[in-house]
Amino acid sequence: MWAGRVLHAALSGASRGRRAQSALAQLRGILKEELESIRRAGTWKSERVITSSQGPHIHVDGAPGGIINFCANNYLGLSSHPEVIQAGLQTLKEFGAGLSSVRFICGTQSIHKDLEAKIARFHQREDAILYPSCFDANTGLFEALLTSEDAVLSDELNHASIIDGIRLCKAHKYRYRHLDMADLEAKLQEAQKHRLRLVATDGAFSMDGDIAPLQEICRLASQYGALVFVDESHATGFLGPTGRGTDELLGVMDQVTIINSTLGKALGGASGGYTTGPGALVSLLRQRARPYLFSNSLPPASVGCASKALDLLMESNAIVQSMAAKTLRFRSQMEAAGFTISGANHPICPVMLGDARLALNIADDMLKRGIFVIGFSYPVVPKDKARIRVQISAVHSEEDIDRCVEAFVEVGRLHGALP
């Protein structure tokens, strides 16, 4: 009898093993087909390996010589600023590599509270709360704030993190056409039956380089009793006279209720995100926002770098002022050459090409000419709206910009994108 049980167990184990192998083989087949379909569509995303620090001039594995980088979110060039680096090193030495904890257990240091207070002062808000990323800030906000009694009205081209955050909440969801204020008003009228109404928009849209009409959004919000939320990730540090963002640029700082933004772009380029707004809201997020409650604290070095970046911005707006002229230089030369550049007056300058393979091939040939740019295609942007997103930095020289334009013209003609 014992031998029979052993044999039965062995046979059962073998059967389970075969089923497991069959399931794994099925998974491999599904994944192979999915990956091949991405390659066939021309939307495969390769990762180029940078072998130097981030900056306007970099070294790339497999590419000879120095490369001019035109696709980083390093808008102010602070990711390699000596004072920012030194602040990170000093904070690392004094406060350690990490906290090994979430904030409410044993993961809050004095530097976290100091940076939150500095962010609130910078944006002229009551309080601020740090997250590991702005993606986390966006996925944490809506679920904690809104209930099934409420409504959220979102621009159709909002960042993926806003979309995902809204999906997590139980509020009634309205999506208005991109920058279409008539459609937003219609949706606000429809949403009057709900308790709270929150209009959610990017300040500057990362794929298109256009800016939300915050004056009109705030007017409609006031008219229909709604709150306004703005993601300022592609605006904080360089839009507006002192770099406070699109609400400062458009004169509505006192009308925007909630701002989310990042420390991983203009403010040092490391990592981290935040929400800033009413003190009671920030207190609620500390109690209920899941990415805050269940993620490790922001590493001390990242805190130190971001804090120094904010200090530099609040001491002088010279870097901010240099952006406009360089952006205009690139946009005007590219348009004169015959390219279509989306957006306006923003250092995000999407070169619209339409075809995904064309964008990929042009980006590859640009690298051969010493220019680092990346083609964007579906699902990052809509189908048939592929583009190369060029991003101007305050630390690009005029010669860098001119060289980039010359390469675009040469490669564009080679691939038939220009006559």
Rounded Cα distance between 250 and 406, Å, is 34
Residue position matching structure tokens 């809509």: 382
Rounded Cα distance between 74 and 50, Å, is 15
133: Cα separation from own chain's centroid: 9
Rounded Cα distance between 242 and 229, Å, is 21
Please give the backbone phi and psi of residue 353, each rounded to the nearest 5 degrees, phi first.
Answer: -125, -25
CB-based contact 232:210 (threshold 8 Å): no
What are the angstrom distances between the C-alpha of 398 and each of 185, 372, 395? Answer: 43, 16, 10
Count Cα neighbours of 150 within 13 Å in the Cβ-side half-sphere.
19
Q: What angle do CA 61, 49, 54 make, to 5 degrees?
A: 105
Task: Tell me, yes or no, if 346 is annotated catalytic.
Answer: no
Rounded Cα distance between 144 and 287, Å, is 9
CB-based contact 389:348 (threshold 8 Å): yes
Task: Tell me, yes or no, if 234 is annotated catalytic.
Answer: yes
3-state class (DSSP) for residue 95: helix
Candidates 112, 123, 194, 265; catalytic one: 265
- Pull the structure tokens for residue 25: 């083989």
Task: Tell me, yes or no, if 265 is annotated catalytic.
Answer: yes
Candidates 81, 159, 234, 385; catalytic one: 234
- Beta strand 127-131 pairing with 273-277: antiparallel
Candidates 79, 154, 161, 206; catalytic one: 206
Residues annotated as catalytic (active site), given as ranges? 206, 234, 265
